[in-house]
Chain A
Amino acid sequence: MTRIPPLIILAVLGAIAAFSISRIQFSASLFEMLPRDLPEVRGMDWLNRYFSRDGQLVVTVRSGDPFLTDEASSSLAERLRSERDRVAAVHEEITLDRLAIEGGGLLAWLWLNAEPAEFTALENRLGAPTSRETIDASFVAVQQGLFDPGTLVRSYDPLGFTRLPGELGAMSIGESDPMASANGSFRLFYVEGTGVDFSDYRDAGRWLEEIRTIVADWENTRNDDGEEVVIGLTGTPAFMAEVGREMERDMTLSIVITMVLISILFWIMHRRHKPLPWLVAAMLLVLVLTLNVGGWLFGNISVMSAGFAAILLGLAVDYGIVIYREAMDTRENARELRRAVGPGIAWAAATTAAVFLSLNLSSLPGIAEMGNLVAIGIAIGAVTMLWGFAPIALELRAELPEPRRRAHSPSPLPRRIAVILAAGVPLCAIASTLVRSPPHLEANFHPFRIRESPSLVAWKELQHELRERENAVPLVVEAPSPEILLAEMEGLESRLETASANGLVDGASLPTPLVPRPDHQAANLPALTRLLGERDRLLTELDGAGFSSEGARLADTIFDSWETYRARIVGENGEPARFVLPSGPLGEWTIARLFAEKEGSFAALGSVRPSDPRDRTWVETICTERVAAASLGSLGAALNERIRSDLTRVFLPLIGILVGMLALVFRNWRDLALSLGALTFAAAVMLLLTIWTPLRWNSFNIFGLPLLFGTGLDFSIHMIFALRRHGGDIRRAERGIGRALLFCGTSSAIGFGSLATASAHGLASLGVVCATGLLVNMAVAVWFLPLWYQWIHEGRWFGRSPAR
């Protein structure tokens, strides 16, 4: 078998792995991993599902002069609009004058959707002879006034369609999603891309660079008299491009560093490289089999679970290292080798798998799925290594000359110290939690935040400048019909008033006037039909009063839109529509920001400004089954509560299962106590590190705990079995399994440690915690556990270390 060049094996398995992975359905939704009963999780999921702005780049414009900001913003927007190969549309702030000039479809819809009493008032105002008075008054206003936006609007809207009724008359349409600061020195607009796949971060990155080039060219060609205008690019496409690029760089750098360092380490410890490709091939095989079995059993696999399962498959590789080390110690054939190391590996795999399967008790769906995948992977890994890699290890060993027996370096610790530390360290850890606060999850931790991110800087500036957005949390209302949606929004308004009176929220905004009202549209249809009959008369009156075709254009567009809406509602060209949405680019974009229909469900987007975002009282007060808040601030607190309750629900049964499995494995109370003691000791060391050093837990690196738990368990089982095999001879055990564990622990620590330089906070923190924990597990298993084993089995207190 080893005559086949390993690179060929690797290439074949790599191709199979790539093919398999391409066939597997991965779910990229992070929210499916979190508890659905939390309003924060539902809110973020709904926000992503209904109001995702994946393809909308946010361009920010800032200067010291409001007019300059306005002019620069308009100029840049116009320039970007002209780039039709890259830009599908540019959306600027909706002002009244813009609404008057471009908003015919939207205005028509707003009237159709208004209260029937208001539409009747419009019909009366446009009826003869009142319409003539309205038109004459508009003419006089246009004749006399000129400098105000109101007069400009009046000149394009002599019939007064922009004088909207009810809440819309009192508020600006842009109020719920402001696009300019109060003093006008900061503005933003949205750019929709074309010719780009925004789900591919590389494509998004390429498109972003092209936009940056266009902006730079625009800056060079404009004459601003030296006054500075600062342009920022932010929003989902910018984040995606940056995050994707940085993660790719991080992963590539990490893989390269890891491969190089592990190769060096393997050479130092084994003085050869030939086994490495075979180990990688075995790992690829385990990965392919695990993902395929997992995909077959579970359907969709979340990207997070697949990622962690891949990491945990490192345990399977460790089995291969253990087999290889034992093979170096003169095993005659594969059967004998399996008989020697098989029980240890099998029990280690079974115990670890049982522990991970107990994660199905967790309330976090993602944790349960990850546990199942890891259990499958561990089992497949053990079988693959024992039956697949063991013969190869023997063949590789057969090619070697008789190994030189290197002088063994004993444990650096005297046994007495090791025994004292076994009790002392856990006691210190307990005392530390009393002296200082126990470790907790960092609040406000953003795992995917990139360090030194230009798009994040621009986003923070945006949040700061648009005060209505600062501390604003998106509120999403979801319902199976528009009627229920509106009823829910009414209930929400009432709860918001109560919350405001109780000081829980500082303000809120709901897009109620912009949600379709099938009842209003149906009720207004007769009046609308009558008004359509007055169209020619009204346009004649406008012409007679002196308004040009430009002055009548808005009215014309509104009548055209009404005709379209009427035809849709009565079903002239097909099925009658229950309700209509506004036509035209401005109308479609305006409504899409605040109302969505998807797969038979309807959603509306509002916002709330809680007084204390992290205090969940406001969430519990205003959220229901159909109302959710996409609040990162309180999500951390909610998850912390949930994890705390999980600790009781999952941890205790997990301990029970663990003790049971270990009792079955060892059938010896001393070895059972040793294994549990090693885990406890390692946990105590980590506890001390997180209390007394800058090392901290957060909502991302906490997912490294199962890995640390699994490796600690594995290492202790391997070492205890080796000690048993060698009759308690520490020297022989450390020469064989000890070196294997040294390599496993160090190589895994190298792999995770290389993530410490990652640009994403979450990855970096995961790398540091896991590297630290793996080194602790390794040190405990290699240097402490053998001494404890000797002490507990020989019953000697404060004996000397074994002779050299």
Chain B
Amino acid sequence: MTFSRALIPAVVALSLLGGAARGDETHRIIANWLRTHSGVQSLAVDFSQRRVMKTLKIPITQQGKLWIDYGRNRYRWQAGNPPQTIVVSRGQSILILRTPLKRYEERRAGSSEMPGLASLARGFPRSLDEFLRKYRVLDLRSDGPRHSIVAQPRSRDQRGVKTFTFHIEKDRYRLLGVDVDLIDGSSLKTSFTRVQTNVAMPDSLFAPSLDGYTETTFSQ
């Protein structure tokens, strides 16, 4: 009886310690992952996406590209091949082009209505502190060659999102992909097929031609 009584607090203490240790491990992994971007001035990412929407009958798969110019705080995201949608940051505004429709919309930077991975790119953290300010870590899973960090966004702008899951390569702490689960059960799984760092980013990449395009508002 005495031994059992002594055991219980020990088990509780170990659980708490274990929990704390796990939290530290998660932060270490995140820090290591984000550190891989230190010194990186630009990123060019090829990705493939699979969207499973409750409101659509079949999943949608598409390819895309993302360019992030950290030095000049600009990015370009496009989906489809040839590109169906292009999103470019232009300082105080965001330009969205729907190429098949030949229409474009200019939105205020910081607007909640940011399509696709662009919203993630807009505010991608560069440090652990910044990450923890933007996301609340829920869980760390380790599966084969990768870690999966499950987090909730803290921004009210992303309240339709239930969780983000960041998949990190175990050995080199590279971001392998991001899964987004929405509150209605829909999901978006993005895998990065190629990641290039410090590539040249010509200005023309962030200034697409609007010849032949009509300005509109895509929410209408």
Chain A positions near chain B (C-beta within 8 angstroms)? 65-68, 70-71, 97, 101, 137, 139-152, 154-156, 158, 160, 163, 184, 225, 543, 546-548, 550-551
Contact = CB atoms under 8 A, between A and B. Distances in A.
Contacts of A139: 56
Given A150-B113, A548-B55, A548-B57, A225 B136 contact: yes
Contact of B156 (A67, A97, A140, A547): A67
B21 interface: no
Given A144-B84, A149-B160, A150-B113, A67 B55 contact: no
Contacts of B182: 146, 152
B56 A142 contact: yes
Contacts of A156: 55, 184
Contact of B112 (A142, A148, A154): A148
Interface string B103-124: 0000000001111101110000
- Prevailing SS type, chain A contact patch: helix
B88 to A, nearest CB: 14
Pick the 8 closest A-B CB pairs, nearest first: A145-B115, A551-B55, A184-B156, A155-B55, A148-B113, A144-B85, A147-B119, A66-B156
Interface centre among A97, A143, A150 (most CB of B within 10 A): A143
A145 B116 contact: yes
B103 to A, nearest CB: 9
B220 A548 contact: no
B111 to A, nearest CB: 8
A70 B159 contact: yes
Contacts of B159: 67, 70, 149
A698 to B, nearest CB: 43
Contact of B116 (A68, A147, A184, A551): A147
B128 interface: no
A137 B156 contact: no
B100 interface: yes
A66 B112 CA distance: 15
A152 B181 CA distance: 12
B154 A155 contact: no
B152 A67 contact: yes
A118 B83 CA distance: 36
Contact of B160 (A142, A148, A163, A184): A148
Given A70-B159, A551-B55, A146 B188 contact: yes
Contacts of A155: 53-56, 186
Interface string B40-54: 000000000001011
A49 B220 CA distance: 41
Contacts of B55: 142, 155-156, 158, 547-548, 550-551
B114 A148 contact: yes
Contact of B57 (A137, A148, A150, A547): A547
Interface centre among B55, B62, B154 (most CB of A within 10 A): B55
Contacts of A163: 219-220
A41 to B, nearest CB: 41
Nearest to A227: B136
Nearest to B84: A144
Interface in B182-220: 182, 184, 186, 188, 218-220
B168 interface: no
What size tier do the contact residues of chain B reach?
Answer: 35 or more
A66 B136 CA distance: 12
B68 interface: no
B101 interface: yes
A711 to B, nearest CB: 62
B115 A147 contact: yes
B150 interface: no
Given A67-B136, A68-B154, A141 B218 contact: yes
Nearest to B187: A146
21 contacts: A67-B136, A140-B100, A142-B53, A142-B56, A144-B98, A146-B51, A147-B120, A147-B161, A148-B112, A148-B160, A150-B112, A152-B160, A152-B186, A154-B219, A155-B186, A163-B220, A184-B156, A546-B57, A548-B55, A550-B54, A551-B55
Interface centre among A65, A145, A551 (most CB of B within 10 A): A145
Contacts of B152: 67, 71
Contacts, number: 115
A66 to B, nearest CB: 4
A145 B114 CA distance: 7
Contacts of A145: 85, 113-116
Interface in B71-99: 79, 84-85, 98
Contacts of B54: 155, 548, 550-551
B57 to A, nearest CB: 5
B60 interface: yes
Contacts of B60: 143
Contacts of B127: none
Given A149-B112, A152-B186, 7 more contacts: A66-B155, A67-B156, A67-B158, A67-B159, A146-B186, A147-B160, A548-B53
A137 B156 CA distance: 27
Given A147-B116, A548-B57, A551-B56, A97 B160 contact: yes
A148 to B, nearest CB: 4
B12 interface: no
Contacts of B118: 147
A236 B169 CA distance: 56
A156 B186 CA distance: 12
B100 A66 contact: no
B161 to A, nearest CB: 7
B6 to A, nearest CB: 26
Contacts of B101: 137, 140
B180 interface: yes
Contact of B56 (A71, A147, A152, A547): A547
Contacts of A184: 156
Nearest to A144: B85
B51 A143 contact: yes
B56 A548 contact: yes
Nearest to A552: B55
A648 to B, nearest CB: 59
B115 A148 contact: yes
Nearest to B161: A147
B184 to A, nearest CB: 7
Nearest to A551: B55
A164 B85 CA distance: 26
Nearest to A548: B57
B58 interface: yes
Contacts of B156: 66-67, 70, 184
B136 A68 contact: yes
A143 B156 CA distance: 23
A201 to B, nearest CB: 38
Contacts of B136: 65, 67-68, 225
Interface in B143-182: 152-156, 158-161, 180, 182
A166 to B, nearest CB: 15
A147 B53 CA distance: 12
A154 B218 CA distance: 10
A711 B220 CA distance: 75
B195 to A, nearest CB: 21
A142 B160 CA distance: 14
B56 to A, nearest CB: 5
A67 B188 contact: no
A659 B186 CA distance: 86
Contacts of A160: 220
B116 A150 contact: no
B153 A67 contact: yes
A547 B51 CA distance: 13
Nearest to A152: B160
Contacts of B112: 148-150
Nearest to B111: A148
Interface string B129-147: 0000000100000000000
A150 B98 CA distance: 16
Contacts of B113: 145, 148-151
Contacts of B219: 150, 154, 163
A101 B55 CA distance: 11
B167 to A, nearest CB: 18
